[in-house]
């Protein structure tokens, strides 16, 4: 039996039926990656880095026996199965689903295809607010601070509001 590791993922959608997109992603992650331990509330945020529809964002905690590299491949395939079409531009765009690996245990990984912890997570309220809800005492391995502290130190002033539906 393989040892299960804890990973935290950020999910977002701003195109189509956003709640359904998030739920479909959760279902696929539970089936293909590992057991979901926690799901944050849903947060509505303006698009970040481009003019587009508002996003619905969540964070989830998952126990998995996948390696970080294999996890990334599976998440990319889930995005594709759910209808995400990646443009290979560096510009942000509307998307049906976006799944990012935020943390994987306390590992620090810097490779051509993967950076863990997520390189921009400390600059984004739409990541830190839902993550702090489910993992406030988890230590960010680079910042050497708990997620709740990282959230307090974030300079992102984008509007963020919790919405009623839950997943």
What is the set of active-site residues?
A: 84, 95, 98, 100
Task: Please give the C-alpha separations between residue 157 and each of 4, 13, 37, 124, 153, in angstroms, as whole numbers.
Answer: 36, 20, 29, 9, 11
What distance in Å separates the CA atoms of residue 162 and residue 167, rounded to the nearest whole number?
13
Selection from 122, 135, 160, 139 nearest residue 40 by Cα: 135
Tell me if residue 128 falls in helix, strand or coil.
helix
User: What is the number of alpha carbons within 13 Å of residue 117 lying toward its C-beta?
Assistant: 21
Q: Count of CB atoms within 10 A of residue 55's CB?
A: 23
What distance in Å separates the CA atoms of residue 80 and residue 145, rounded to the nearest whole number?
34
């Amino acid at each position: 039996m393989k040892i299960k590791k804890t990973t935290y993922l950020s999910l977002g959608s701003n195109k189509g039926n956003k709640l359904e997109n998030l739920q479909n992603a959760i279902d696929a992650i539970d089936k293909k990656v590992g057991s979901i331990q926690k799901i944050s509330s849903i947060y509505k945020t303006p698009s970040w880095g481009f003019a587009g529809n508002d996003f619905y964002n969540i964070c989830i905690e998952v126990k998995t026996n996948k390696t970080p590299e294999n996890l990334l491949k599976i998440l990319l395939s889930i995005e594709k199965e759910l209808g995400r079409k990646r443009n290979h531009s560096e510009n942000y765009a509307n998307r049906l689903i976006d799944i990012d690996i935020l943390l994987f245990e306390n590992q620090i990984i810097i490779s051509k295809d993967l950076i863990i912890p997520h390189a921009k997570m400390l600059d984004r309220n739409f990541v830190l607010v839902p993550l702090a809800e489910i993992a406030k005492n988890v230590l960010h391995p680079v910042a050497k601070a708990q997620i709740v502290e990282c959230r307090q130190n974030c300079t992102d002033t984008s509007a963020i509001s919790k919405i009623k539906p839950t997943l």
